[in-house]
Chains A and B, each alone.
Chain A
Amino acid sequence: GENVEQHPSTLSVQEGDSAVIKCTYSDSASNYFPWYKQELGKGPQLIIDIRSNVGEKKDQRIAVTLNKTAKHFSLHITETQPEDSAVYFCAASKYSGGGADGLTFGKGTHLIIQP
């Protein structure tokens, strides 16, 4: 089955700096890659996603890049702010239909924004 590795497990950056979280996947058939943000006491919330026919997607301060050949994708957050502090999860979809039940998650990255 699909295996998703996520690094680092903890990332501390100064406010205003950029943060990068990386994930690798094992199944070349995966074609959907979402990122979820989980704040303390809340469930994960989708913040951005990318499909395999696109190499990069951007939404304000957040961007995701995908390298299908190397089977890795990354989350980039620029101009970090205190409200970016949270746990971030990457995921990959293993079914060709892309159904949500096919999502395999990484272990998460605890992002800490230092004031």
Chain B
Amino acid sequence: ETGVTQTPRHLVMGMTNKKSLKCEQHLGHNAMYWYKQSAKKPLELMFVYSLEERVENNSVPSRFSPECPNSSHLFLHLHTLQPEDSALYLCASSPGARGATNEKLFFGSGTQLSVL
């Protein structure tokens, strides 16, 4: 157990649905991240929150909308997704804020998303 919990583990949705992914960390970390993992591709950083403030958005389509209500919780709101958005979505946290020297990432087990 890494201390980072993601729900749901699996999600199937149609292109017109609206759903949300949830992430919770019990480690007292200051930064949280959303990554997308597709087969045969490197992990893609989507969003970073440091001290509850979004610090980076790597040109992610607006159909993905993050929310960080506090330092322990992170959401990814999904709407009008495309089949190519099917992937494993990983949440991670790290002790320091952006630019801190401690760069270790602690990942959750991910949400396997299928868009039909």
Contacts and interface: CB of A to CB of B under 8 A. Distances in A.
A100 B109 contact: no
A98 B109 contact: no
Contacts of A105: 42-43
Given A43-B90, A43-B92, A44-B43, A99 B110 contact: no
B90 to A, nearest CB: 5
A40 B92 CA distance: 17
A89 interface: yes
A97 B45 contact: no
Interface residues of A, number: 27
A38 B22 CA distance: 21
Contact of B109 (A43, A89, A95, A99): A43
Interface residues of B, number: 29
Main secondary structure of the interface of A (DSSP, over half): mixed
Nearest to A39: B109
Interface string B75-116: 000000000000000101010111111011111111000000
A12 interface: no
B33 A101 contact: yes
Interface of A: 4, 9, 32, 34, 36, 41-46, 49, 89, 93, 95, 97-108
Interface of B: 2, 4, 31, 33, 40-43, 45, 48, 55-56, 90, 92, 94, 96-101, 103-110
Given A34-B103, A99-B103, A101-B56, 17 more contacts: A9-B40, A32-B103, A43-B107, A43-B108, A44-B107, A45-B2, A45-B107, A46-B104, A46-B106, A99-B96, A100-B103, A100-B105, A101-B55, A101-B98, A102-B103, A105-B43, A107-B40
